[in-house]
Amino acid sequence: MGPREHDNKNTPIPPDDRRNILQSEMNNPAIEPLAKTMRKQCAELRYQLMPYTYTLAWEARHFGLPLMRAMWLHYPDETRARGLGNQFMWGRDLLIAPVFTKGAISRVVYLPKADWYDWWSNTKSTGGQHVTREVDLATMPIYVRAGAIIPFDPVRQYTSQRADDPTTRRVYGGADGEYTLYEDDGTSQDYLKRRGSWTRLT
């Protein structure tokens, strides 16, 4: 049993009613195509960012830095960044702003002091201020810090699938940047013996 989401009462919803609500939302013809698009887009982005995320996992093991980071971790001197609990950094360079409000058509995002690029449109914004990003069910705001170097893989269907195209580098201008890409064989435990490769990019 759970509280009703449409009012402030804690009256439990009967199991049959909950099942009907769930089925009606799952079969909503307006939502289904968007959900499929978003699922495909997120799955592809997961594999495309695998080198970036894999490097973050190595950083987490060796330096104790989490993959998902509170804003204050990289922007401790910014008062507005320190108090934010509804957006976060994925590593040092990607700012993620999930949309929580049902039916939202826009999302206010705080960009710390720097230049930032919208991941989807590549539009450049000046930081140190709040910006309003239009959203829909298929769009989650992602911003990239100027100076970032993001390794970007071709789309895969599974992690070990052979990729014919090379890993590319997305370089976001407007500031000096550096990045160290970590790679290993991806299958053995040799990383525990510090066997891998580190490519420093500037």
Considering the domain boundaries, does residue 5 fall inside one?
no
Query: 199 forms bridges with which residues in the sheet?
Result: 181
Q: Read off the CATH number of the domain in which 183 is found.
A: 2.60.40.1180
Considering the domain boundaries, does residue 46 fall inside one?
yes
Model confidence at 5, pLDDT cuts 50, 70, 90, reads: very low
Q: What is the pLDDT of residues 95-112, one digit of tens each?
A: 999 998 888 999 999 999
Give the separation between CA 152 and CA 181, rounded to whole angstroms: 11
Model confidence at 41, pLDDT cuts 50, 70, 90, reads: confident
Q: What is the pLDDT of residues 167-184, one digit of tens each?
A: 999 999 999 999 999 999
pTM value?
Answer: 0.82
Counted domains in the chain: 1
Q: In what order do the strands lie in the sheet with 124-126?
A: 68-69, 88-90, 94-96, 142-145, 115-118, 124-126
Give the separation between CA 115 and CA 94, rounded to whole angstroms: 12
Q: Which domain holds residue 114?
A: 32-201
User: Residue 133, class by beta-carbon neighbours within 10 Å (0-12 exposed, 13-18 middle, 19+ buried)?
Assistant: buried
Considering the domain boundaries, does residue 62 fall inside one?
yes
Considering the domain boundaries, does residue 137 fall inside one?
yes
Considering the domain boundaries, does residue 39 fall inside one?
yes
Question: Would you say 146 and 152 are in contact if contact means Cβ atoms under 8 Å apart?
Answer: no
Considering the domain boundaries, does residue 19 fall inside one?
no
Considering the domain boundaries, does residue 98 fall inside one?
yes
